[in-house]
């Protein structure tokens, strides 16, 4: 079974959001976290068994990729952001898939109705949690640990 079989064309739209550079990010913003969460912390929150993260850095983000037993790896991304670009990303996702606002996380948060993705705006950066087929309630537990 492939990701496109599971998620349909909406997976491509959500993937595009993951790869997009923040339009309003500046180098003067407080930096994103300097380290990735440990595999043990991710595993405890999500009920997974992952190896240590592979870290990818961009000028505006730190992407932590955890490979485990599943076909699609889990990703935790910290990306510089602004309130306006965070809202634009939510609106763009809502045009492709059903999204739900999540209360009690950061300054703003939303997830897709399809399990496996959660986006939390902290005020200076966004935490993107992507773990296909993982219940969003588990992603919320991990997000609370990261805030």
Digit-coded pLDDT (tens) for 41-56: 999 999 999 999 999 9
The DSSP output letter for 48 is: -
Averaged pLDDT in 10-residue chunks for the chain of 147 residues? 42 41 49 93 95 95 92 95 97 96 97 96 97 95 96
Task: List the domain boundaries for the chain.
Answer: 3-24+36-146
* pTM of the predicted model as reported, rounded to 2 decimal places: 0.81
Output the pLDDT for position 28. 56
Output the pLDDT for position 71. 86
Distance CA 16, CA 34 (A): 24
Identify the CATH assignment for 3-24+36-146 out of 3.40.1000, 1.10.3470, 3.30.70, 2.40.50. 3.40.1000
Asked if residues 128 and 18 have their Cβ atoms less than 8 Å apart, the reply is: yes
Output the pLDDT for position 19. 40
Q: Name 71's Cβ contacts closer than 8 Å, sequence gap at least 6.
A: 1, 3
């Amino acid at each position: 079974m492939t990701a496109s079989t599971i998620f349909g064309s909406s997976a491509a739209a959500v993937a595009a959001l993951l790869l997009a550079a923040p339009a309003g990010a500046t180098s003067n913003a407080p930096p994103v976290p300097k380290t990735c969460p440990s595999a043990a912390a991710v595993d405890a929150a999500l009920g997974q068994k992952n190896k240590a993260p592979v870290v990818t850095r961009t000028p505006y983000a730190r992407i932590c990729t955890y490979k485990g037993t599943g076909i699609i790896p889990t990703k935790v991304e910290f990306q510089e952001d602004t309130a306006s670009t965070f809202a634009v990303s939510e609106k763009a996702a809502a045009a492709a898939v059903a999204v739900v606002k999540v209360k009690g996380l950061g300054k703003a948060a939303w997830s897709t109705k399809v399990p496996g993705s959660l986006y939390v705006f902290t005020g200076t950066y966004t935490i993107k949690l992507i773990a296909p087929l993982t219940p969003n309630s588990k992603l919320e537990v991990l997000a609370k640990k990261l805030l």
